[in-house]
Structure 1
Amino acid sequence: MSRFEQFKHSYAYDPKYKTRAAYFSMEFAIDQPFKIYSGGLGFLAGSHMRSAYELNQNLIGIGILWTFGYYDQIRKGNQEMDSLFQEKIYNFLEDTNIKFTIEVDGHPVWVTAKYLAPEVFNTVPMFFLTTNIPENDYLAQCISNNLYDADINAKVAQYILLGQGGAKLLDELEYNAEIYHMNEAHALPAAFHLYNKFGRNLDEVKKHLVFTTHTPEEAGNEKHDIQLLDKMGYFEGVPLAEVRKITGIDGEEFSHSLAALRMSKIANGVSALHGEVSRGMWNKYDDICPIVSITNAQNAPYWKDEVMYEALGKGEDDKLIARKKYLKKKLFETVADQTGKLLDPNALTIVWARRFAAYKRADLITKDKERFERILASTDRPVQIIWAGKPYPMDYGAVSIFNSLVHLAKNYKNLSVLVGYELKLSKKLKQGADIWLNNPRVPREASGTSGMTASMNGAINFSTNDGWIPEFANGENAFVIPRPDLSKPIHEQDAEDMNSLLDMLENEIIPMYYDRPEEWLQMVKNSMNDVLPFFDSSRMASQYYEKVYNY
């Protein structure tokens, strides 16, 4: 009997999903109390683990137990954001009593794993690796301190922990995974562990390894100095000449994604559009695996508002409208608590909330000051805007944009910027939004799943035509900003998008909300109906078996 028996699934596997798979991810957004995620990658992974449980799949999750999480977003005295790194305690995790070593930078590092049982948050069995144990010195303990550590050596050590440590944990558990699924290339050291395990036979590795890429630009895929990776133990003792041979990387810059594409049997992009972009981006390289598309999705049972859907199903429009207004009021209690501003539940409420990154352009709507102020100044057709999101703490440009919006909001009673954008606040914002604004630069957004869960809560998407939107928007369920001329310089594309955004807001969205409420309600209902079932992650989790695991 394998050691995995004491941690096994609580159900009989559906025969369609009997292939044993292990899903490796740097972050999982599973539930509010478990703060080991930063943004969309984690939200996606958490939904996957929930849907895999609901479908009785033979899947487990492998992650890292971040001692300080990502960070707690708080405020300075002047209302600007600050980052609090606070130790997290999770009594709902169980000790596995499994300990083993990995080698990092020529030194043995002890690793243990904590276990998340399925019944805690309705997920498949999950295991979280940590080096924060007494057997390690301070430096080794710090490897699992902070998600996405800014220090390059620490970051590489974290990848070794996830990939090599996760693969070794599976050996210790005697899980005998048939599929090692890398959610992004962070876990690539697992491939070199398998390479050693299978007698340095790359064909055997390829039978077991699959890869999901989320990055739509080659420059955005991580690269590191190959000598540094070798010194740190990233390749688990495989000689550098052999690493170059099996990955096809001859230079000094090691592309993790390119190596993953050459060592996997199959890979996938995370929307139909992203699959096309990825194939165009990578097909110029030899020996890469096929790249298919599996559009990201979110777990509807966790995210959708049941009361709204019940009213929708019964055709009870009055109840649907009343529920939405109630949810807006609940959100506005949080806004009042954080900012001291009392928002109007009858006013059109626009929410921009997601990970703060430059290409997502949080402040695009503010760039034409005259038009922006005209919209905000209207008393007969009031508009309220709420921003929220966590910049990477070391991304000073993104932090600066966040803080500039904080100071801008001080001058207006109908602008608010919230801190603490985690699962709980995310759900509240989606429930309270009339418009879910999403304006990344095309084609930078691989998927952009926040709009899916907004639709599940009666919010209408207002988005650039990127990521999942081309698969969803049909002219009757969302407002879509036309694509700019992508041959133009970036600043001209931004200006074009800004003008289109403000034109649509002034000439289509605001008039419909205030003058044609029946039309608005129909669009809300269309959005709620059209987002399900395709953008529920049960479809996505099924497709991973059909298109990737059983390939």
Structure 2
Amino acid sequence: MDSVAYFTAEIGLKDDIPTYSGGLGALAGDTVRSVADMNFERFPYNFAAVSLLYPEGYFTQSISDGRQHEHYPRWCPADKGLVLQREKVRMALHDREVEIGAWRYDVRGRGRTVPVYLLDTSEISGCSNSEWDRKITLRLYSGGVYERLVQEAVLGIGGTRMLEAVGYDATKFHLNEGHAAFAVAERLKRCGDVAKVRENTIFTTHSPVAGHDGFDYALIHQVFNGTMPNNIHELAGCNYLNMTQLALNGSSRTNAVSRKHGQVSSRMFGRNIGYVTNGVHHATWASDAFRRLYDEELPGWRDDPSILSRAGDVDGTKIAAARNESKTEAARYLREVHGIHIDPSRPVITWARRFDGSYSHEGRLSSYKRPLLLFHDMNRLRAVLERSGAQLLYAGKAHPNNTAAKDEISRVVWHLGELKGAGINTAFVPNYNMETCRHLTAGSDIWLNTPRVPLEASGTSGMCAAMNGVPQAGTMDGWWVEGFNGRNGWMVGSEFSDDDTDSGGLYSIIEGFGTENAMSVGAIQTGATFNTHRMVNEYARNLYF
């Protein structure tokens, strides 16, 4: 039986294990959970995941004076159920050896247990490294170019060696984004045969924007001191080492994460890129109320989420009751954890995701996620919120080094305060994480997703909302191009983003909102397709074969 090694820079295992920052990590966690739910007959591969430990994790966010502030509390892996492995591996950086340890976390599902190995260079893993080297794996996505380079080296090179050390004989290597591309270089250095490396390597690309991780070759030669393969320039680019190009050229099979993203990636990379549309782990993201409802009315849904397509057979009053209970529970969570008060009897509109700041688009600076789109016409927004009685919630983090994204948060907080001053209930929910996402996706009435077309690779938070009967209002991008059917939410704008048109579309949706029960059934049925059980089966059939 083949054994898959799944490499990912971040992974969302549990709310309180801070080894994830956003959608990439949540997807990795959901992927592992779905594999764990399947026996070997349904998913005929061994499976293990590799990531980094990050003893100070991704930061904890607080908001004060309208600004984001970052905090880095240490966490103890042993307290979270992780087990330190006795094996250690070494890799050369500059003229020294860096020791790497690993903690194992077992994801136990309905069909098997999947091991996840989290690599670490710090003293809590018993590594005898210098003070600087102990900090290599300290924080997720921290530091500058050099820090990112050595982290990705630990993931790809150290991860490959660690799997061997613990006795996991990988025959398929799945790189979840280009961060892990040094696994290609490590295996190529050993065997010297590009064709052999390609034959058992699968690469999933998640970004629809050119200019992925890249490193100057002078830095590469300085750090790796001649240990890279001799033909690295042929695989990773002539002018600088492009991690995405290395992963592409080192893989026999590459996929994008939605149909539209596949089209965009094919044009961007100049080669045909197929796709496997992302999903979410249905049982993780359904609220307690909806899990009970599905258990009673749609038995078998936990093993076969396609059964959610029968949601139309469920009594509408029971769906409404589950929605009300989910909103009440979300209101309790926001009140007790964050001191935020919402009225569960009134509509709740939510925008929640990573803040990305600005990028260059057609000669001007633009925001890809567009958190400020809803505030484009404040007078009209105020009027439609007043008439509808809707409440407005925002949440999301900005990378600590992304000043433009942090400024976006400040502007959002200011606009929310302006609306609150007009008598509209608004709030910015701090420290957006998996737990917060579960409550917000279950406790909202409209889930907003407003990326600038065509910059969204997939997006998954709207799929989480759908598991709770919550419709999405989204632009024509990512998974929504495939998911939208007119019964599960609204399409905002067209294939060409325009802030005037798209914001006007959002205001019209809020004004006309009142068909939530019908939309709830359609949203739930969406979950029959957009789940990670379907996704991992497609990987097995089309990419792991």
Length-normalised TM-score, structure 2: 0.88
Match of 1:58 in 2: 46
Alpha-carbon distance, 1:495 to partner:
2.7
Match of 2:531 in 1: 536
Q: Find out whether 1:231 has 2:222 as its counterpart.
A: yes
Q: Find out whether 1:71 has 2:75 as its counterpart.
A: no
Alpha-carbon distance, 1:127 to partner:
0.6
CA contact (8 A) 2:256 2:265 kept: yes
CA contact (8 A) 1:160 1:234 kept: no
Name the count of aligned residue pairs.
503
Match of 2:117 in 1: 127
State the one-letter code of the partner of 1:349.
V
Match of 2:209 in 1: 217
Match of 2:284 in 1: 302
Q: Find out whether 1:107 has 2:112 as its counterpart.
A: no
Change (3 A) 1:114 1:341: closer
Match of 1:501 in 2: 506
Alpha-carbon distance, 1:531 to partner:
2.1
* 1:82 aligns with one of 69, 72, 89: 69
Aligned counterparts of 2:544 and 2:198: Cα–Cα separation in 1: 12
Alpha-carbon distance, 1:415 to partner:
0.9
CA contact (8 A) 2:36 2:109 kept: no
Percent identity for Structure 1 against Structure 2: 28
Alpha-carbon distance, 1:160 to partner:
0.3
Question: 3-state SS of the aligned residue for 2:400?
Answer: coil
Alpha-carbon distance, 1:302 to partner:
1.4
CA contact (8 A) 1:51 1:123 kept: no
Aligned counterparts of 2:457 and 2:315: Cα–Cα separation in 1: 36
Q: Find out whether 1:523 has 2:515 as its counterpart.
A: no
State the one-letter code of the partner of 1:210.
I
CA contact (8 A) 1:308 1:324 kept: no
- Write the mapping of 1:475-490 to structure 2, written as runs, cut at 5 A: 475-483=486-494, 485=496
State the one-letter code of the partner of 1:268.
N
Alpha-carbon distance, 1:484 to partner:
5.0
Root-mean-square deviation over aligned CA pairs: 2.0
- Write the mapping of 1:12-23 to structure 2, written as runs, cut at 5 A: 18-23=1-6
- Write the mapping of 1:363-402 to structure 2, written as runs, cut at 5 A: 363-378=372-387, 381-402=388-409
Change (3 A) 1:97 1:31: same
Question: 3-state SS of the aligned residue for 2:414?
Answer: helix
CA contact (8 A) 1:193 1:236 kept: no
- Write the mapping of 1:23-34 to structure 2, written as runs, cut at 5 A: 23-34=6-17
Question: 3-state SS of the aligned residue for 1:257?
Answer: helix
* 1:361 aligns with one of 367, 370, 384: 370
Q: Find out whether 1:39 has 2:22 as its counterpart.
A: yes
Structure 2: which 5+ residue stretches go unaligned? 40-44, 298-310, 358-367
Change (3 A) 1:501 1:485: same
Question: 3-state SS of the aligned residue for 1:166?
Answer: helix
- Write the mapping of 1:193-208 to structure 2, written as runs, cut at 5 A: 193-198=186-191, 200-208=192-200
Match of 1:327 in 2: 326
Match of 1:280 in 2: 267
Question: 3-state SS of the aligned residue for 1:116?
Answer: strand
Aligned counterparts of 1:53 and 1:539: Cα–Cα separation in 2: 14
Match of 1:163 in 2: 156
State the one-letter code of the partner of 2:267.
G
Aligned counterparts of 1:355 and 1:48: Cα–Cα separation in 2: 20
State the one-letter code of the partner of 2:120.
T
CA contact (8 A) 1:350 1:434 kept: yes
Change (3 A) 1:537 1:87: same
Aligned counterparts of 1:474 and 1:410: Cα–Cα separation in 2: 35
Q: Find out whether 1:138 has 2:138 as its counterpart.
A: no
Which string of whole-angstrom CA distances, capped at 9 and with x for unpartnered residues, describes residues 288-330 of structure 1? xx52210011111211231343465763322321221222122
Question: 3-state SS of the aligned residue for 2:85?
Answer: strand
State the one-letter code of the partner of 1:526.
G
Aligned counterparts of 2:159 and 2:216: Cα–Cα separation in 1: 23
State the one-letter code of the partner of 2:144.
D
CA contact (8 A) 2:469 2:519 kept: no
Question: 3-state SS of the aligned residue for 2:142?
Answer: coil
Length-normalised TM-score, structure 1: 0.87
Aligned counterparts of 1:281 and 1:353: Cα–Cα separation in 2: 28
Which string of whole-angstrom CA distances, capped at 9 and with x for unpartnered residues, describes residues 92-118 of structure 1? 111210012111233210001111123
State the one-letter code of the partner of 1:278.
S
CA contact (8 A) 2:375 2:415 kept: no
Question: 3-state SS of the aligned residue for 1:110?
Answer: strand
Aligned counterparts of 2:508 and 2:285: Cα–Cα separation in 1: 31
Match of 1:10 in 2: none
Match of 1:456 in 2: 467
State the one-letter code of the partner of 1:316.
D
Question: 3-state SS of the aligned residue for 2:457?
Answer: coil
Change (3 A) 1:485 1:469: closer
Runs of 4+ aligned residues of structure 1 deviating over 4 Å after TM superposition are 120-123, 310-314, 337-341
Alpha-carbon distance, 1:339 to partner:
6.1
Aligned counterparts of 1:158 and 1:485: Cα–Cα separation in 2: 37
Change (3 A) 1:294 1:485: closer
Change (3 A) 1:246 1:434: closer
Question: 3-state SS of the aligned residue for 1:181?
Answer: strand
Which string of whole-angstrom CA distances, capped at 9 and with x for unpartnered residues, describes residues 187-226 of structure 1? 111111101221x11111111211100011213x222212
